């Protein structure tokens, strides 16, 4: 590796990026998070840990993932467009980069079991994969409504040896699954490790998940220079919790000529509450899931109901470092509608022969919009965070008629 992935700017000792982040926890949990932060601080400097993770990235995940010059898209939009192919990773997305890191850390800390919630099941599958490889038990809590909707991922997790715990109270979706997983974790935090699925949650998770994902940008920076002799003029990534975006952005943070763009989902409507998940665009600072960040609030100040066609992007909060990067103006955040994302999904499929995840299609659509608005924008490097296999049935059923399917 050209540069150590753990060599990134860190938050302050309490886990703050500017005024965002920190750890807002029930007293029982404070010593547990402190212990994880301390152990992580040690391990991120341990050459054996770095070597083990690097080896898995190469031989298990299939890293480095290539950068592809998308010539047909470049021609159509009148500017050079490149894709960082995280869709080619084992399990089909960027999430494996951090679930492997979390699993290795849990193992080194002597934990027996990984525990997490999952909505659509992507995080659950990535964590179950890492648990199988590293040799840990794995409990994934999932709402019964989501289990019915995302049946193939339930089967995948079970094939991988994970225990899928059905959650049958309330609306039986992600929020109840979070509560259920958290309750089970608190019952035995000594032998279990909570595997968070993005750069969110209390300190040290935003920093830790970001570090594990930063391999994406470290590789991309070197590959892009090798291919073109220069740095990219623009980076674009979709933002749900924000892990694939932080993964790409981090290595370029000090490159002043590189503009960075995050794409949030405006869903069906930016005007109507509950019809989008544009947290940085329309939210305000608050505390959600144990950390301070921009968030979408309902009338009681609680996390609002949100929506996006991409289930990986419908979160009412966002990683705290994104909130900081928005405030200081280092990253520009914009929005992409369901319709624009689905158009981009088909455009990449038909112009380049690559079926993207609907989440990643938001990054594509944002890049296309930027190119249309500014003919002199220069080169654009898009993080293609995952592949669209998981989405094809849904897209064909819901949108197929409009696209000749
Ligand atoms: C989960 C997921 C996302 C959203 O997560 P971030 O933490 O915002 O990166 C994006 N793309 C794909 C393919 C995903 O599976």
Concatenated DSSP letters of 371-404: HHH-TT---EEEEE-BBSGGGHHHHHHHHGGGGT
Rounded Cα–Cα distance for residues 399 and 48 (Å): 49
Return the sign of the alpha-carbon dihedral for residues 205, 211, 212, 213. positive
Per-residue CA distances from 214 to 97, 206, 247, 330, 343 (Å): 9, 12, 4, 17, 29
Measured by CA distance, the residue closest to atom 13 of ligand 1 is 386
Q: What is the pLDDT of residue 43?
A: 95
Ligand 1 mean position to 369 CA, how many Å? 20
CATH code of the domain made up of 61-92+213-403: 3.40.50.1100
What pLDDT tens digit does each residue of the chain (405 aa) get? 446 777 777 899 999 999 999 999 999 999 999 999 999 999 999 999 999 999 999 999 999 999 999 999 999 999 999 999 999 999 999 999 999 999 999 999 999 999 999 988 999 999 999 999 999 999 999 999 999 988 999 999 999 999 999 999 988 988 899 889 999 999 999 999 999 999 999 999 999 999 999 999 999 999 999 999 999 999 999 999 999 999 999 999 999 999 999 999 999 999 999 999 999 999 999 999 999 999 999 999 999 999 999 999 999 999 999 999 999 999 999 999 999 999 999 999 999 999 999 999 999 999 999 999 999 999 999 999 999 999 999 999 999 999 999
Rounded Cα–Cα distance for residues 332 and 316 (Å): 19
Give φ, ψ of 252 to 5 degrees.
Answer: -105, 5
**Which pTM does this prediction carry?**
0.97
Closest CA to 13 of 25, 24, 21, 5: 21
Location of each CATH 3.40.50.1100 domain in the chain: 26-59+95-209, 61-92+213-403
Token pair for residue 87? 């869709």
Q: What is the pLDDT of residue 4?
A: 72
- From the alpha carbon of 199, which atom of ligand 1 is closest? 7
Q: What is the pLDDT of residue 204?
A: 97
CATH code of the domain made up of 26-59+95-209: 3.40.50.1100
Mutate to test the pocket of ligand 1, among 146, 277, 386, 390 (most ligand atoms within 8 A of CB): 386
Mutate to test the pocket of ligand 1, among 93, 317, 318, 383 (most ligand atoms within 8 A of CB): 93
């Amino acid at each position: 590796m050209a540069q150590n992935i753990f060599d990134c700017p860190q938050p302050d000792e309490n886990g703050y990026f500017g005024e965002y982040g920190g750890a807002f926890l029930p007293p029982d949990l404070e010593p547990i998070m402190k212990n994880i932060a301390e152990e992580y601080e040690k391990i991120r400097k341990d050459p054996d840990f770095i070597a083990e993770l690097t080896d898995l990235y190469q031989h298990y995940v299939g890293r480095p993932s290539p950068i592809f010059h998308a010539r047909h898209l470049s021609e159509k939009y009148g500017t050079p467009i490149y894709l960082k192919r995280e869709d080619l990773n084992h399990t089909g997305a960027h999430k494996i980069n951090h679930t492997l890191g979390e699993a290795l850390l849990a193992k080194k800390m002597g934990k027996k079991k990984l525990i997490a919630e999952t909505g659509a099941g992507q995080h659950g599958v990535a964590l179950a994969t890492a648990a199988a490889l590293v040799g840990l038990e794995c409990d994934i809590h999932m709402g019964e409504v989501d289990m019915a909707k995302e049946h193939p991922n339930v089967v995948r997790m079970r094939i991988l040896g994970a225990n899928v715990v059905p959650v049958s109270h309330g609306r039986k979706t992600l929020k109840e699954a979070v509560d259920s997983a958290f309750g089970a974790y608190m019952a035995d935090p000594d032998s279990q490790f909570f595997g968070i699925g993005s750069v969110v949650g209390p300190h040290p998770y935003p920093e830790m998940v970001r570090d594990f994902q930063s391999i994406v940008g470290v590789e991309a920076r070197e590959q892009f220079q090798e291919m073109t002799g220069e740095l990219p003029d623009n980076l674009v990534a979709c933002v749900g919790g924000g892990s694939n975006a932080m993964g790409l952005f981090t290595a370029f943070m000090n490159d002043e000529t590189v503009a960075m763009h995050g794409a949030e989902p405006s869903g069906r409507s930016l005007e109507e509450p509950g019809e989008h998940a544009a947290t940085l665009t329309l939210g305000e600072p608050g505390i959600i899931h144990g950390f301070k960040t921009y968030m979408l609030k309902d009338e009681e100040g609680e996390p609002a109901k949100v929506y996006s066609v991409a289930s990986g992007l419908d979160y009412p909060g966002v990683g705290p470092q994104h909130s900081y990067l928005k405030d200081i103006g280092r990253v520009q955040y914009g929005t992409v509608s369901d319709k624009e994302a689905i158009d981009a999904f088909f455009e990449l499929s038909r112009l380049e022969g690559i079926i993207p995840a609907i989440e990643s299609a938001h990054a594509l659509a944002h890049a296309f919009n930027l190119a249309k608005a500014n003919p002199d924008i220069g080169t654009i490097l898009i993080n293609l965070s995952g592949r669209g296999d998981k989405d094809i049935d849904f897209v064909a059923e819901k949108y197929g008629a409009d696209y000749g399917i």
